[in-house]
Structure 1
Amino acid sequence: MGRLIVLYVAFVFLIGGGFSWLIVDTLGPHDGPAPTQAAAQTLTVAQATAPAPLDLGGLEPSPLPLSLPIACQPGKDCWIVNYVDRDPGKDFRDYACGDMGYDGHKGTDIAIAHAGLLEENVPVLAAASGSVVGVRDGMADVFNRGASRDDLNGKDCGNGVRIDHGGGWATQYCHLKKGSVAVKAGDTVVAGDRLGSVGLSGATQFPHIHITVNKDNAVIDPFAGIDGAGESCGLGKAPLWDKPVLRQLAYYSPFAPNAGFADRVPDAAEAKSGKLGGWAPSADSPALVFWTELYGTRAGDRLEVKLVGPDGEKIADKSETLDRNRNWLYRAIGRKVRGSWAPGTYVGTVKVTRPDGPGQRQFEQSFTTTLR
């Protein structure tokens, strides 16, 4: 295989970390141009390991049963990246006493794998029946970070929809794709109706749907419900999510929504954009690199990334113990070759072992590519 040249890169960015911006703008009844319809398709991303399901024993009925606000399969092609902040101070704490989120976060962020999937028009759905009281459309789908958020003029939610469910209950859906909003103020919707598509509008750095639940204008964590869980961890007495939805919403931390192979070390922006998915490796590629994104890694996690050839030969590997919490992490390993690669299937694997704390004690996922 020639002289070994191991390539290893690390890009670290904490989603929301270091920022204190909030999604606080309330959508007006006619805030944006007329909506347009868009087609809906299904996404599939394989997940190798999954955490234990939530314990639903002894729960009281939800006062506002919520269905999933996005057409996806949690843990397969979508994941909760940020939860509602339940810490009253300057720190963050999610319902599992973990730190999947950031200080002051007022909703639940459900992400798809990468921005390349925006073309699939992943549907955003009404989580409960009600009346549409506000919409916004027409804002561009862009990665907003740093000073660029100052240009939003307070419209951090981006394109979105607000629904009144009666009894003081309301839900707001943010970051929808430009031109996808499919309802207007005054429309009546039922749970599961399509509101639009997942996008990148407003103050967002990854494609997702943000849903905020309000009761009498107060933010309610749908995992906690009105009564919450006090100072203890876990679900509240009456969480808002309908039980079939709760069975799907296990606590994924860590997880790898996006990975692949390349003939060079791609930068993190390329990975997040989804532009690498169409690359077709060949035996003549000058190098073979396995790259992966990870969400929800924590200090003390043992991270192992490796690339193995068709005959079991180790192409490259890297192990490390992470020194701090990271909501988002990027790693790439690989090797150059003199001559050509042996034909066959190459396997890239990412594995995280967690000694303690919320989330999975071990996560492992493998990806394959075939060289001819």
Structure 2
Amino acid sequence: MPNATGLLRTVCFGMFVILSASNVAHADGPPFDLPVDCLNGECQIVHYVDHDAGPEIRDYACGTTTYNGHRGTDFAVPDEATMLSGVAVRSVADGTVAALREGVEDIDSGRVDAKDLAGIECGNGILINHADGWQSQYCHLRRGSLAVKQGDRVGRGQQIAEIGMSGQATFPHLHFNLRKDKQLVDPFSGTQMGASSVRDCAADNAVLWTPAARQQLVYKQVTLYGSGFAMARPNASDIKRGYGKERELPRSAPGLYFWAYLIGANDGDVIRLSLQSPNGKGGHRDFKIDLPNDQGPRAKWFFINMDRPGELWPAGTYRGEVTFTRTGAVPKMIGENTVTIR
């Protein structure tokens, strides 16, 4: 069976002209509410702030759910279909809209010439001034979804836009930045970017979020961005568009592929994909992360497949499982899917 891996890239360094905090008419600051309105757990944090000042990476919990130089927190939705359904972005606190950009197309930036994104890497975005020198920035918003204009006063929790894929983004997500006196601050560690040492690492840190927000923020060593079944070999673009998540397939389907897309894999991690037929037959395949050969944003996709045993598949329920093992830890199943063939 062929081995397939993919690489997810998104860099969010585009910034607006920052206006003076003296423009704030009515504002408040931390603790902050969540900037996303995600029902049924459809949003996941896939990248945190990178606290390592060198070429290595380290998120606030000393994990690898980040990439080199990442300056914010990425809240992702599963695919473009979810994005198009409309996922609200909300102001994390009372404030005043200091700047915004609208009109940038929602498109996978991997399909765009890099020079066409110069100066608009953040895509459609909003910058809000809060009290005491705090600012929040919201990037990659969906074109046409901005519900505020420059100078507007906004309330804590007010919808200001929707999650999109504009600017330098390769998957639908909100890139969220928080600043104090124009210095970037990680809302989990409460420190400036790069100021958190390995002695400060704690997965339960969420110091600048409200108690209600903290209840929804569970740190994961690795994130299962998506998994599912398809009748043909999937690719990264298909997965991000929402394809390859079949619940039923015909017995004449030419193939059966179980795939998984993970973010935050570390050197030596083992990802096991298992696939089992209704009669108990099947197998598994292990994929070991090998750095530096797997450098870059640590998003990888893998698949395992079965060959059709004859002209028709046996009818019934087929099951796929994703198991994650980090060196020194016990294996943990992080995802499972089923598909019915009839």
TM range (shorter): 0.7 to 0.9
Match of 1:351 in 2: 323
**Superposition map of 1:169-184 within 5 A:** 169-184=134-149
Match of 1:140 in 2: 105
Distance change in 2, residues 1:226/1:300 (3 Å)? closer
**What residue ranges of structure 2 are gaps of 5+ in the alignment?**
20-27
Match of 1:365 in 2: 335
Cα deviation, residue 243, structure 1: 2.1
What TM-score comes out, normalization by structure 2 length? 0.87
- Provide the secondary structure at the position in 1 that maps to 2:223: coil
From 282, 290, 306, the counterpart of 1:335 = 306
From 10, 29, 37, the counterpart of 1:71 = 37
Match of 2:166 in 1: 201
Match of 1:99 in 2: 64
Match of 1:45 in 2: none
Q: Distance in 2 between matches of 1:237 and 1:110?
A: 17
Moved over 6 A (4+): none
Match of 2:285 in 1: 318
Q: Distance in 1 between matches of 2:50 and 2:270?
A: 26
Cα deviation, residue 103, structure 1: 2.3
CA RMSD of aligned residues (A): 2.6
Greater relative CO (CA pairs within 8 A, separation 6+): 1
Distance change in 2, residues 1:63/1:136 (3 Å)? closer
- Provide the secondary structure at the position in 2 that maps to 1:245: helix
Cα deviation, residue 15, structure 1: 3.1
Q: Distance in 2 between matches of 1:194 and 1:77?
A: 17
Cα deviation, residue 70, structure 1: 0.8
- Provide the secondary structure at the position in 1 that maps to 2:70: coil
Match of 2:22 in 1: none
- Counterpart code for 1:79: Q
Match of 1:271 in 2: 239
**2:220 paired with 1:244:** no
Distance change in 2, residues 1:298/1:126 (3 Å)? same
Instruction: Indicate conservation of the 8 Å contact 1:116/1:275, yes or no.
Output: no
**What residue ranges of structure 1 are gaps of 5+ in the alignment?**
1-6, 30-61
Instruction: Indicate conservation of the 8 Å contact 2:273/2:321, yes or no.
Output: yes
Instruction: Indicate conservation of the 8 Å contact 2:137/2:178, yes or no.
Output: yes
From 154, 166, 178, the counterpart of 1:189 = 154
**Superposition map of 1:273-292 within 5 A:** 273-277=241-245, 280-292=248-260
Instruction: Indicate conservation of the 8 Å contact 1:82/1:100, yes or no.
Output: yes
Instruction: Indicate conservation of the 8 Å contact 1:254/1:363, yes or no.
Output: no
Q: Distance in 2 between matches of 1:364 and 1:237?
A: 22
Cα deviation, residue 239, structure 1: 1.8
Instruction: Indicate conservation of the 8 Å contact 1:118/1:199, yes or no.
Output: yes
- Provide the secondary structure at the position in 2 that maps to 1:248: coil
Match of 1:303 in 2: 271
- Provide the secondary structure at the position in 2 that maps to 1:257: strand
Cα deviation, residue 135, structure 1: 1.5
Instruction: Indicate conservation of the 8 Å contact 2:320/2:336, yes or no.
Output: yes
Cα deviation, residue 183, structure 1: 0.8
Structure 1 residues 226-272: Cα deviation after superposition (integer angstroms, max 9, x where no partner): 48655523359882111221232121222222122111212222112
Distance change in 2, residues 1:276/1:362 (3 Å)? closer
Q: Distance in 2 between matches of 1:248 and 1:219?
A: 23
Instruction: Indicate conservation of the 8 Å contact 2:88/2:163, yes or no.
Output: yes
Match of 1:58 in 2: none
**2:124 paired with 1:159:** yes
Q: Distance in 2 between matches of 1:212 and 1:320?
A: 34
Distance change in 2, residues 1:139/1:27 (3 Å)? farther
- Counterpart code for 2:31: P
- Provide the secondary structure at the position in 1 that maps to 2:139: strand
Cα deviation, residue 137, structure 1: 1.1
Instruction: Indicate conservation of the 8 Å contact 2:206/2:214, yes or no.
Output: no
Q: Which moved more, 1:188-197 or 1:169-178?
A: 188-197
Identical aligned pairs, as a percentage? 34
**Superposition map of 1:118-129 within 5 A:** 118-129=83-94
Aligned residue pair count = 326
- Provide the secondary structure at the position in 1 that maps to 2:176: strand
Q: Distance in 2 between matches of 1:230 and 1:269?
A: 37
